């Protein structure tokens, strides 16, 4: 282990007051969730459950047998949730036992698990990654998979199953909860909100864990690149940021580093911006900066940008249709919208040749950052640009998902873990645990449980309308976007780059315990 790994093992996350004496935690039922008939028909057993608020109650011990599974891409804090679960259930009873399903939900279906003991948990406290038990993307979908999951939890005599995952994994948790109840199985299912993308949000889930560490890691790198740019004075950096559809990560990183331009997919869609329009916007910025003696720049692009551009969306629909109809490849360019002709040859090829397993165009594989790099270079040439334009492309993704969790993430995730066993002790199922008022110190955090189906709506998935957790997109009327919108004009032509530097774990709390800026913007005046 490295010195930092060792040092982090002994970090003690601050604990919200209600979670200090965990056996005395109790829940009161708050307002009932709103529901509709469509949801009701699918979730007859878990429909209309109330929101739960954690309060101080009588000490209530319990011997629990719990299963835990990590689902989807890693997010910093996963090991902290597991440590929280473990500590919580051991305080409820030293005889409680925790079983970790291996490599994602597949581990439940195939009955692959390992009992997690103290020595092992202790080696993973406050560490990054999901490697204690591994993760995976398998979904529990078919009747056979539901059935074998039921058999496994029964065989293990689980009082509860805790699913640490994103929107789809928590959708799965809700479906399992419903199914287990229907089958008369007493295993409760509880979810914990995980995803670097930051797209699970509602009144109770202010942000999933992992978002903070990812954004801070990307912001460290963006800040370093920006400082390089003003030092070497010759490169224009096109930086794509992970985050699937929603642009939360790009918005947070923009607030943290103040780049010259940052595109928010949701705004691009709302304003119906075109590829040509975006290229113009970037080109104008390059030219105006050149006129002020700045032949460098920092531009941020969210991973999901392409699918928010209406004409690209249209083009992709056309392509998918023509491909499905078996139209010859060489005929396709003539039959689709003129947007196709605008794209660099490499991207055209990619759109025609690379398919996902369903035969669809792989939107997420399009290299947005090089797409714009090439189109801007062409446009500058067309305009007879006299300055230097040396573009560099970057994609920040995997480096932000499994690093040491920030103090914010490890403390938040640990608290989520502490709550879950108590929800199970009290018989609740189909809930996600929540911690809120996160911009305040942990001593002021509120905790509780939110019915997962209260976050759901219906979406078309593979041709069928399915209940899924609604992805929270950037709200263009929300305070974080408005803050960005107010400041961004200033950043375009002059340089107001900020250099956040690497995440710090020791020293002054004004450096180690910072909260995402978008969260502060959202909640600070409430």
Which residues in this chain contact a copy of itself in the complex, by CB under 8 A? 1-5, 7-8, 70, 73-74, 78, 103, 127-131, 134-136, 217, 220-221, 223-225, 227-228, 230-233, 235, 237, 392, 394, 398-404, 498-508, 510-511, 514
Cβ proximity to a copy of itself, 26 vs 514, nearer residue = 514
Cβ proximity to a copy of itself, 17 vs 502, nearer residue = 502
Give buried/exposed letters for 305-338 (b at 16+ CB in 10 A, else e). Answer: bbbbbbbbeebbebbbebbeeeeeeeebeeebee
Cβ proximity to a copy of itself, 395 vs 458, nearer residue = 395
Task: Give me the least distance between CB of 83 and a copy of itself, in Å please.
Answer: 16
- Render 120-186 in DSSP notation, one character per residue: HHHTTTT--SSTTT--------SHHHHHHHHHHHHHTT-SEEEEEE-HHHHHHHHHHHHHHHHTT--
The answer to whether 167 is a known catalytic residue is no
Cβ proximity to a copy of itself, 293 vs 359, nearer residue = 293
Cβ proximity to a copy of itself, 32 vs 122, nearer residue = 122
Residue recorded with tokens 């004009």: 489
Structure tokens at 290: 């050149």
Task: Give me the least distance between CB of 374 and a copy of itself, in Å please.
Answer: 14
- 103 Rama class: left (phi>0) / alpha (psi -120 to 50) / beta: left
Task: Give me the least distance between CB of 255 and a copy of itself, in Å please.
Answer: 12
Residue recorded with tokens 């789809």: 168
* Largest CA-CA distance found in the chain, in angstroms, rounded: 76
For residue 27, the surrounding DSSP H or E stretch is: strand 25-32
**Which distant-in-sequence residues (6+ apart) come within 8 Å of 461 by Cβ?**
468
Task: Give me the least distance between CB of 165 and a copy of itself, in Å please.
Answer: 13
Structure tokens at 192: 């914990």
Residue recorded with tokens 């996160």: 438
Task: Give me the least distance between CB of 120 and a copy of itself, in Å please.
Answer: 15
Residue recorded with tokens 């956040």: 500
Residue 169 near residue 50, CB atoms below 8 Å: no
**Which distant-in-sequence residues (6+ apart) come within 8 Å of 345 by Cβ?**
none
Structure tokens at 308: 């928010």
Residue 133 near residue 68, CB atoms below 8 Å: yes
Closest CA to 336 of 354, 317, 349, 355: 317
Structure tokens at 140: 């529990």
Report the chain's terminal Cα–Cα distance, integer Å.
Answer: 43
Task: Give me the least distance between CB of 391 and a copy of itself, in Å please.
Answer: 12
Task: Give me the least distance between CB of 130 and a copy of itself, in Å please.
Answer: 4
C-alpha span between 305 and 523 (Å, rounded): 26
Cβ proximity to a copy of itself, 7 vs 476, nearer residue = 7
Cβ proximity to a copy of itself, 499 vs 523, nearer residue = 499
Residue 355 near residue 323, CB atoms below 8 Å: yes
Question: 3-state DSSP call for residue 468?
Answer: strand
Task: Give me the least distance between CB of 44 and a copy of itself, in Å please.
Answer: 36
C-alpha span between 336 and 259 (Å, rounded): 35
Q: Which parts of 247-335 are beta strand (E)?
A: 261-262, 297-302
Closest CA to 76 of 215, 199, 206, 173: 215
Pair type for strands 160-165 and 65-70: parallel
Cβ proximity to a copy of itself, 234 vs 457, nearer residue = 234
Cβ proximity to a copy of itself, 401 vs 436, nearer residue = 401
Cβ proximity to a copy of itself, 5 vs 337, nearer residue = 5
Task: Give me the least distance between CB of 392 and a copy of itself, in Å please.
Answer: 7
Q: Which of 87, 159, 167, 197 is catalytic?
A: 197
Closest CA to 410 of 8, 95, 4: 8
| Residues belonging to the active site | 197
């Amino acid at each position: 282990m490295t010195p930092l790994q060792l040092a982090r093992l002994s970090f003690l996350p601050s604990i919200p007051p209600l979670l200090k004496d965990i056996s005395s935690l109790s829940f009161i039922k708050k307002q009932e969730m709103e529901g509709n008939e469509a949801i009701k028909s699918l979730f007859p057993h878990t429909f209309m459950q109330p929101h739960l608020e954690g309060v101080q109650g009588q000490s209530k011990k319990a011997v629990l047998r719990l299963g835990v599974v990590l689902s989807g891409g890693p997010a910093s804090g996963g090991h902290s949730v597991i440590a929280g679960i473990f500590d919580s259930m051991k305080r409820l009873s030293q005889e409680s036992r925790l079983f970790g399903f291996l490599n994602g939900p597949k581990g439940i279906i195939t009955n692959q698990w390992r009992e997690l003991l103290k020595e092992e948990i202790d080696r993973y406290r406050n560490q990054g990654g999901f490697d204690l038990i591994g993760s995976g993307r398998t979904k529990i979908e078919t009747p056979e998979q539901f059935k074998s999951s039921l058999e496994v939890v029964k065989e293990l005599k689980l009082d509860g199953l805790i699913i640490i995952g994103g929107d789809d994994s928590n959708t799965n948790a809700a479906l399992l909860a419903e199914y287990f109840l229907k089958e008369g199985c007493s295993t409760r299912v509880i979810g914990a909100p995980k995803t670097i993308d930051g797209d699970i949000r509602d009144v109770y889930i202010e942000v999933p864990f992992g978002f903070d560490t990812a954004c801070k890691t990307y912001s460290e790198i963006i800040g370093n690149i920006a400082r390089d740019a003003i030092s070497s004075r010759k490169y224009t950096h096109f930086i794509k940021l992970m985050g699937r559809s929603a642009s939360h990560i790009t918005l947070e990183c923009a607030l943290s580093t103040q780049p010259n331009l940052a595109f928010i997919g949701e705004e691009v869609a709302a304003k119906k911006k075109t590829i040509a329009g975006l290229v113009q916007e970037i080109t104008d910025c390059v030219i105006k900066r050149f006129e002020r003696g700045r032949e460098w720049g920092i531009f941020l692009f969210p991973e999901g940008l392409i699918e928010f551009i209406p004409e690209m969306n249209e083009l992709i629909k056309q392509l998918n249709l023509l491909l499905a109809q078996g139209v010859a490849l060489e005929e396709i360019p003539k039959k689709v919208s003129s947007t196709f002709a605008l794209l660099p040859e490499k991207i055209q090829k990619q759109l025609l040749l690379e398919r996902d397993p369903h035969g669809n165009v792989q939107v997420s594989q399009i290299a947005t950052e090089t797409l714009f790099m090439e189109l801007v270079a062409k446009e500058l040439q067309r305009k007879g640009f006299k300055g230097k334009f040396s573009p560099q492309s970057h994609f920040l993704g995997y480096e932000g998902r499994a690093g040491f969790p920030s103090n914010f993430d490890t403390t938040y995730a640990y608290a989520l873990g502490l709550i879950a066993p108590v929800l199970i002790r009290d018989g609740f199922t189909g809930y996600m645990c929540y911690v809120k008022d996160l911009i305040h110190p942990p001593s002021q955090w509120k905790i509780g449980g939110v019915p997962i189906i209260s976050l759901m709506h219906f979406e078309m998935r593979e041709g069928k309308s399915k209940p899924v957790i609604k992805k929270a997109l950037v709200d263009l009327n929300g305070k974080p976007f408005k803050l960005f919108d107010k400041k961004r004009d200033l950043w375009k032509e002059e340089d107001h780059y900020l250099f956040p530097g690497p995440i710090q774990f020791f020293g002054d709390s004004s450096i180690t315990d910072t909260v995402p800026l978008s969260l502060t913007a959202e909640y600070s005046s409430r």
